[in-house]
Structure 1
Amino acid sequence: MTPERRRQLAWASYDWGNSAFATTVVAGLFPIFFEQYWASNLDSASRTFWLGVASSVSSLAVVMLAPLLGSIADRGGLKKRFLAVFTALGVLSTAAFYWVGQGEWLIATVLFTLGSIGFQAGTSFYDSLIVNVASDAQMDRVSALGYALGYLGGGLLFTLNVLMVLHPDWFGLANAASATQVSFVLVAIWWALFSLPLFLKVPEQRTRGNGVLGDVAAGLAQLRDTVRALSKLRPVWMFLFAYWLYIDGVDTIVRMAVDYGLALGFPSSSLITALLMVQFIGFPAAIAFGWIAGRLGTKRALYLALSVYIGVTAWAYLLQTVMQFYLMAAAIGLVQGGVQALSRSYYARLIPPDKSGEFFGFYNMLGKFAAVLGPLAVGFTKLLTGDARLSILVLVVFFVVGMLLLSRVQEPPERGFT
C-alpha cells in the first residue's frame, strides 16, 4: 500500500469512528431512550419538540463557531487541534449518558446538545482535511470511501448495541436500560479509538501563530475577506445555497425518522431494524456512488440521489405498515451516503485549497443552519397540527428547490493534488 493510500485510509478512519455517534446516538437509541426512559413523564408532542430543540441548538452553535474557527485553523495550521478538542467534547458528553437517571430529560438534552456540537463541529475540520490527502481526481472516491467506512463502522457497533438492548442477559446486563447506557459508553470508546489514525498519519503544515488574541484577530480579518470574496465566487455560493436546502431534508430525516415511526405506532424494535438496514445498505451504496459519479458526473449523480429522496418523502406521508417503513429505509440507504459524499467532494473542488478550513466552516455552517430549521419545522408542525404525516411532507420543498439551484452551479476546473 502506498503512503498516499495509507493517509487516505487514516483520514477515512475518523468516519468509521464518529459515525457510531450518528447511528447509535442520533438516529438510533437516543430518540427511543429519550421517549421511553428520560422523558417518559412528558407527552408525545413535547418530547418531539425538545428533541428538535436539542438538535437545533447544537446546530446553531456550529453555525456561529465554524467559519471563525475554520479561518483561525487555516491561519495557524490548527485543523487537527480543533478536531481533537471537539472530538473530546463529543466523546466525553456521550460517555456521560451512562450516569443520567430515569426522568432526567433536561440533563440528557444538555448532554445530547454538547455531544452534537462536538460531532458537528469536529466534522467540519475533518471534512476540510480531505484536501491534504486527495487530489481533485481522487475526491469523489476518497470522500465516498469515508462515508462507506462510516456506514460500515457505525453499523457494526450499532448491531452490537442493538443485540445488547434486545438481549441484555447475553451480556450479563440487568435490563435494556442498563444495556442502552453501556452502549453509549461503547460509542465514546469507539469514536476515540478510531480517531487516532487521523491524528497520527494525516499531515498538516503548522505555521507560526500570533498568540491566541492575534490568531483570533487574524481569523476575523480573514473571515471578513472571505465573506467579500464569496460574492465573487458564484459557483461556491450557488452551491452553498443549494446544499443548504437539500441537506436540510437529509439531516432532518436522519434525526427525526425514529420519532416519526414511533408517532405512527411502529414498535421500536422494527425501527432499529430499519436503521440497521440503512447502515449496511449504505456501505456498498456509498462506494457505488463514487463509481456512478465517475461515469455520469458528480452533479448528475446528485440529481439521481435527490430524486429518490423526493419520492421517499412523499411516500412517507402515505406510510401505513412496518414493511413499508423497511422499504423506505432501504431506499434511503441506497442514496444517503451518495448525497453526503458527493456533496463534500464536489464542494472541495470548488474552493481554494489553502482556505479549506474556513470554506468548510461555511459549508458546515449552512448545512447545520438547515438542521436548525428542519427539526424545528417538523417539531412545530406536529405540535401545532398534531399530524406527524404533514410535518414530514414539508421536506419535499427543500429537495426540489435545492436541485434547481444545484443545476445553476458552474462545473469546477480540475486541479492537481495539493
Structure 2
Amino acid sequence: MKEKLNRFEWYWIFYDIGNSGFSLMLAAILPLYFNHLAQNAQLSSAQYLAYWGYATSFITLIVGVIGPIFGSIADFKGMKKKLFILFLLMGVLGCYALSLANHWLWLLVIYIIAKVGYSSSLVFYDAMLTDITTKERYDRVSALGYAYGYIGSVIPFVLSIALILFKDSLHLSLNQAMIGAFIITASWWLLSSLPLLKTYQQKYFIPKQEKIIQTTFQRLQQTLGKIYHQKQIFYYLIAYCLYIDGVNTIIGMATAYGKALGLDNNDLLLALLVTQFVAFPATIAFAHFSKRFATEKVIRLCIFAYIGITLFAVSLVYAIQFWILAILVGLFQGGIQGLSRSYFASMIPANQSGEYFGILDVCGKGAAFIGTFLVSGVTQLTGHEQMGLAVLILIFIAGLYFFQRSLKATQ
C-alpha cells in the first residue's frame, strides 16, 4: 500500500493548484481578450498570433537570464524562500494589474511582467522538491503536483468563464468580466500559496558567504563546466530544451492558434476545460507507470505521442478536431512535465537544486522560446498558421534524439 502524502508534500502541491489557475488563464482566457483588443486595433490574425508569440519568447529570454543567477543564490541558507516570495508577489500583483489594461500593447507589457514572476517562482518551487520529500518519492509527488494542479485550476477557470460567457445576463461588459476573471485568478493563486509559505524549510543548502554575488557567478561557471562533462545531464538538458519547448508552445499558443483559425470562443474554452479533467487521471496514471516501467521509457513514449499530436494539430480545421486535440494533449501533458521534473531532480545534488533547476529553466521551464519564435516567424512569413505549427515536429524529433544520447551516456 502506498504511503500517504505528508503535510509538507500536500502544501507543496497546493502551490501547483494555485499557480495552475494562472497558467490556465494565460492559455485559455487571456489570448481571447488580447484578440478582442487586437481586433479593436485592426490587427490581422497573423499579426495577432505573431505578437503573442514574440511576447512569450521575450519572457523566456528574461527568465533564461535571471533563472540560473537567482537559482544559484537560492541555494544559500534561507534564500530559497525569500526569492520564491519575491517572484510570487511579482506574478500575483501582475495578474491583478492585468485588469487595468485596455489596449493590446499594455496588456502584453503587463502579461510579460506577470509571466516573468510566475515562471521565475517555478524555479524555486521545483527546487523545493528535494527539500519536501525523499528521492524515491520524487516521481509520485511531482506527478501529483501536476495532477492536482490541473483539477484545482478548474475552480477559478470555471468562475472566470462563467463571468465571460454569461456577462450579458449579469449586465457586465467584456472588460468588466475580464477584470473579475483576473481578480479571481490572482486571489486563488495567492491563497493557495499560503500553506507552503508558512511551513517550508530549506533542508539542503550551501552555507552563506559574505560575497554572495561574486560566489554565485563563480559557482555557476564551475557548475556549467561540470555539466559539460556530465554527459547524461548535458544531453538531457538539450533534449529537455527541445521537447519541452514543443510542449509549452502547444500549451501557450493553443487558444491563439484555434482563434486564428476562426474557431468559436465557447468551443475553445470548453475544450481546454476538458483538457484539465483528462489530465488529472492521466497524470496520476503516469506516476503509476513510472513505478512499473523506467521513468526514461515513459518520457520517451510521451515525446513520440507529441509528435503524433502535432501532426494532427497541423490538419486542424473544425471545432470537433480541436476537442480531440485537447483530449490528446490532456493525456500526455502532465506525464511529460511531472516525470521530466522528477527525473532531473534524481540526477542532481540536493544542495544545489536551485542552481540546477535555474539552469533547467533556461532550457524551457514555464515558457517556450524556440518553438514560439519559430511558429510566430514562419506564420508571419507564410501567412499560414499550419505551416508555423508544423515546425514543432522537427523540434520534437531533435529532442528525442538528444534524449537517447542522454540515456546512452549512462550505459
Q: Please indicate the TM-score interval, normalised by the length of the shorter structure.
A: over 0.9
Give the corresponding residue for 2:268.
271
- C-alpha distance after superposition, 1:80-129 (max 9, x if no partner): 1111110100101110111222xx11111110000110111110110000
Correspondence 1:104-183 to 2 at 5 A: 104-168=103-167, 172-183=170-181
1:298–1:339 CA distance, 2 compared to 1 (3 A):
same
Q: Which moved more, 1:402-411 or 1:239-248?
A: 402-411
Give the corresponding residue for 1:9.
10
Please point out which of 182, 185, 188 is paired with 1:187.
Answer: 185
Q: Report SS of the residue matched to 1:168.
A: coil
| Shift of residue 369, structure 1, vs aligned partner | 9.9
Q: Which amino acid is the alignment partner of residue 90 of structure 1?
A: G
Q: Which amino acid is the alignment partner of residue 267 of structure 2?
A: S
- C-alpha distance after superposition, 1:25-61 (max 9, x if no partner): x201111100113553122222212111211111101
Q: Which amino acid is the alignment partner of residue 362 of structure 2?
A: M
Partners in 1 of 2:409 and 2:179 — Cα distance? Answer: 47
Correspondence 1:330-345 to 2 at 5 A: 330-345=327-342
Give the corresponding residue for 1:73.
74
Poorly superposed stretches of 4+, deviation over 4 Å: 1-4, 205-208
Partners in 1 of 2:406 and 2:104 — Cα distance? Answer: 44
Correspondence 1:289-368 to 2 at 5 A: 289-368=286-365
Give the corresponding residue for 1:93.
94
Alignment check: 8 A CA contact 2:371 2:395 kept: no
1:215–1:3 CA distance, 2 compared to 1 (3 A):
farther
5+ long unaligned stretches in structure 1: 414-418
| Shift of residue 411, structure 1, vs aligned partner | 8.6
Partners in 1 of 2:238 and 2:300 — Cα distance? Answer: 15
1:258–1:3 CA distance, 2 compared to 1 (3 A):
closer
Correspondence 1:255-270 to 2 at 5 A: 255-270=252-267
Alignment check: 8 A CA contact 2:75 2:206 kept: no
| Shift of residue 404, structure 1, vs aligned partner | 2.0
Q: Which moved more, 1:303-312 or 1:338-347?
A: 303-312
- C-alpha distance after superposition, 1:124-168 (max 9, x if no partner): 110000001122210110001100111011122111211111012
- C-alpha distance after superposition, 1:242-289 (max 9, x if no partner): 100100110000111111111211111101111101111111111111
Please point out which of 396, 399, 403 is paired with 1:399.
Answer: 396
Q: Which amino acid is the alignment partner of residue 50 of structure 2?
A: F
- C-alpha distance after superposition, 1:207-253 (max 9, x if no partner): 76445xx2111111111111111122111111111100100110000
Alignment check: 8 A CA contact 1:67 1:361 kept: yes
TM-score normalised to the size of structure 1? 0.93
Q: Which amino acid is the alignment partner of residue 199 of structure 2?
A: K
State the percentage of identical aligned residues: 35
Partners in 2 of 1:247 and 1:338 — Cα distance? Answer: 12
Partners in 2 of 1:217 and 1:28 — Cα distance? Answer: 42
Q: Which amino acid is the alignment partner of residue 77 of structure 2?
A: G
| Shift of residue 370, structure 1, vs aligned partner | 7.4
Alignment check: 8 A CA contact 1:4 1:133 kept: no
Please point out which of 266, 276, 279 is paired with 1:282.
Answer: 279
| Shift of residue 2, structure 1, vs aligned partner | 8.9
Partners in 2 of 1:96 and 1:155 — Cα distance? Answer: 22
Q: Which amino acid is the alignment partner of residue 33 of structure 2?
A: F
2:239 counterpart of 1:242: yes
5+ long unaligned stretches in structure 2: none
- C-alpha distance after superposition, 1:300-320 (max 9, x if no partner): 111222222111100111122
Alignment check: 8 A CA contact 1:165 1:177 kept: no
